[in-house]
Amino acid sequence: MSDSTNASRKGFTMSEKSVGLVFDRIFEETPDNRIMIATFSSNIHRIQQIVDSAVKYNRKVAIIGRSMLNAVKTSIELEYLDIPENTIIDISEIKNYSDNELAIITTGTQGEPMSALSRIASSEHKQVAVKPDDKIIISASSIPGNEKMISKVINELLKRGADVVYEGIADVHVSGHACQEELKLMLALTKPKYFMPVHGEFMHLSSHKELAVSMGIPKENIFLMRIGDVLEISKNDAKINGTVPSGQVLIDGLGVGDVGNIVLRDRRHLSEDGLMVVVVTMEKESGDILAGPDIISRGFVYVRESEDLMDGAKKAVMDALYDCDYRSSSGWSYIKNVIKDALKDYVWQETKRSPMILPIIMEV
């Protein structure tokens, strides 16, 4: 199994050390303003390089974001990070230092709504507010699908006067994933009999498959898996053998996984088009209409301003009921369907909308 994230990128991935040189240059070129760097909390070497630049240019380092705090704390305890004493300060202490004495490391490189950087960008963070001319570095690339959220955060920071540096402007990030030449090297070194590309969208997996074929692995020995597929491996062979339940588990109130596709479809229908309830009272034996039809509308139209529409709807239902009576049909389920079809056709002709229609027949 091999990581496919950069399988469509040619060449080699740049060294992580190259980012440190860019940080050094930015710190040198920003002697007077506060510097804020957003990066992945899991990238300990990147954090070390940020701290090194801050120490070199006599800045204190404040850390925000729960995952970043936990990562730094644990890395210091395990001696993975080498940070001089009194370099790290609590975020509550930043008010005691001038802007040119501060560097802030934060989470939120993917524009996550509740991350520290997103809250700072939207002026919702309790301890950090964006100042004009703050230098904010987003040291990450966008994960496929997150582009809109990241652009929103960058736009908000720019609106508040910050100078934002991101991957498209400077080399402030190198990927943590192997490119094509490194992937080919792994295939050449390991010479797998069976190969399963992992990690990435299907287009990345597919690119990795083509690489493997070019390295001499037979197509029938390469498995492009979808979520839920089962790969069965034995002493002699490997094959896809069925599927297992997979995907999102929906939680609603106290129920876990009990909201099915039909319920979701109904909720979506209600949210988009609203509801019309038709109430008719009928005599059980003869099928005569004793009262109604009364129509109740929710989320469809405001009844008091749509009297003509409602009168027309009642007439359409009444005509359909008389038609049922004419054909001497007394099956309530059949009558409900006739009401539903007649009202649906009328409403669509008049409004080009399709609210959920719920017929209720009261038996007397």
Residue type at 104? I
Q: What is the pLDDT of residue 303?
A: 60
What is the spatial distance between Cα 350 and Cα 189, in angstroms, rounded to a whole number? 69
Same domain, 282 and 338: yes
Look at residue 175 and tell me if it is in a domain: no
Domain boundary (165, 198, 219) is at: 165
Q: Which residues of the chain have pLDDT under 70?
A: 253-261, 285-288, 301-306, 324-332
Look at residue 12 and tell me if it is in a domain: no
Same domain, 231 and 319: no
Look at residue 11 and tell me if it is in a domain: no
Q: Rounded to 5 degrees, what angle do the CA atoms 5, 9, 11 make? A: 125
Same domain, 279 and 320: yes
Domain boundary (109, 137, 165) is at: 165
Same domain, 108 and 142: yes
Same domain, 66 and 189: no
Look at residue 251 and tell me if it is in a domain: no
Q: Which residues of 195-234 are buried (b: 16+ CB within 10 A; e: fewer)?
A: bbbeebeeebbebbbebbeebebeeeebbeeeeeeeeeee
Look at residue 8 and tell me if it is in a domain: no
Same domain, 160 and 238: no
Query: What residue has token string 């099956």?
Result: 331
Query: What residue has token string 């008389």?
Result: 322
Query: What residue has token string 């038996």?
Result: 363
**What domain range includes position 42?**
17-165
Q: What is the pLDDT of residue 221?
A: 93
- Element counts in the chain: helices (H) and strands (E): 10, 15
> CB within 8 A of 72, min separation 6: which ones?
47, 63, 81, 88, 105
Look at residue 347 and tell me if it is in a domain: yes
Query: What residue has token string 């991957």?
Result: 167
Same domain, 186 and 321: no
Torsion sign (Cα): 314, 315, 316, 320: positive
Same domain, 47 and 186: no
Look at residue 340 and tell me if it is in a domain: yes
Helix orientation angle between 17-29 and 44-56, rounded to the nearest 10 degrees: 30
Q: What is the pLDDT of residue 326?
A: 43
Same domain, 272 and 347: yes
Torsion sign (Cα): 126, 131, 148, 67: negative
Query: Within a 10 A sphere around the Cβ of 8, how many other Cβ atoms?
Result: 16
Number of domains in the chain: 3
Q: What is the CATH number of the domain that holds 73?
A: 3.40.50.10710
Q: What is the CATH number of the domain that holds 285?
A: 3.10.20.580
Nearest Cα neighbor of 88 from 107, 71, 102, 98 is 102
Q: What is the pLDDT of residue 352?
A: 78
Look at residue 170 and tell me if it is in a domain: no
What is the number of alpha carbons within 13 Å of residue 156 lying toward its C-beta? 18
Same domain, 161 and 217: no
Same domain, 220 and 327: no
Q: Which two tokens stand for residue 128?
A: 């950090």
Helix orientation angle between 44-56 and 66-77, rounded to the nearest 10 degrees: 80
Q: Give catalytic residues, as residue numbers.
A: 3, 177
Same domain, 236 and 206: yes
Report CA-CA distances (Å) from 343 to 237, 296, 338.
60, 13, 9
Query: Within a 10 A sphere around the Cβ of 354, how many other Cβ atoms?
Result: 14
Domain boundary (110, 136, 165) is at: 165
Q: What is the pLDDT of residue 327?
A: 47
Q: What is the pLDDT of residue 57?
A: 92
Q: What is the pLDDT of residue 209?
A: 94
What is the spatial distance between Cα 85 and Cα 273, in angstroms, rounded to a whole number? 62
